[in-house]
Amino acid sequence: MKKSKLLLALVIVLTFLGGIYTGIQFSSTKPQEKPIKSGKAPQSAIKPQTKDLPKVEKAHSKVLIGYIQDFRDPNQVDYSQLTHVIFSFAHPTKEGGILLNGDSALKNLRTIVAKAKKSNTKVILAVGGWYHISGGESYPYFKAAISNPNSRTKLVNELTSLADRENLDGIDIDFEHPHSKEDAENLAAFAKQLSVQLHSKKKELSVAVNSKINAVTLTEIGYVQYEPSMFKDVDHVNIMAYDGQWDEGYNAANLSPYPFTEKIVNYWSKLFEEQNISKDKLVLGVPFYAQPKDPKIKQVSYGAIINQNPANANSDTINMNGTTYYYNGAATMKKKTNLALDHGFGGMMIWELGLDAKGSNSLTSSISGTIKKATNTPVKYYAVVNAQ
For the domain that residue 318 is a member of, what is the CATH number? Answer: 3.20.20.80
Position 57 in a domain:
no
Count up the domains in the chain and report the number: 1
Cα 88 from Cα 69, distance rounded (Å): 5
Amino acid 7: pLDDT: 44
Position 128 in a domain:
yes
Position 233 in a domain:
yes
> What stretches of the chain adopt beta strand conformation (E)?
63-69, 84-92, 98-99, 122-129, 170-175, 204-210, 236-240, 282-287, 289-292, 300-301, 317-320, 323-326, 347-351
Q: Which domain holds residue 234?
A: 63-375
Q: Please list the pLDDT of the chain residue by residue as tens digits (388 residues).
A: 444 444 444 444 444 445 544 444 434 444 443 333 333 333 434 444 544 444 433 344 899 999 999 999 999 999 999 999 999 999 999 999 999 999 999 999 999 999 999 999 999 999 999 999 999 999 999 999 999 999 999 999 999 999 999 999 999 999 999 999 999 999 999 999 999 999 999 999 999 999 999 999 999 999 999 999 999 999 999 999 999 999 999 999 999 999 999 999 999 999 999 999 999 999 999 999 999 999 999 999 999 999 999 999 999 999 999 999 999 999 999 999 999 999 999 999 999 999 999 999 999 999 999 999 998 744 333 333 333 3
Cα 73 from Cα 270, distance rounded (Å): 39
Amino acid 61: pLDDT: 83
- Cα separations (Å) of 26 from 13, 15, 20, 29? 20, 16, 10, 5
Position 182 in a domain:
yes
The DSSP code for 380 is: P
Q: Does residue 260 contact residue 293 with C-beta atoms inside 8 Å?
A: no
Position 94 in a domain:
yes
Amino acid 120: pLDDT: 96
Position 181 in a domain:
yes
Position 290 in a domain:
yes
Position 360 in a domain:
yes
Sheet-wide strand order for 289-292: 300-301, 289-292, 323-326, 317-320
Amino acid 55: pLDDT: 41
Cα 119 from Cα 78, distance rounded (Å): 9
Amino acid 375: pLDDT: 86
**Residue 352 amino acid letter:** E
Phi then psi for residue 319, to 5 deg, are -95, 120
Amino acid 145: pLDDT: 98
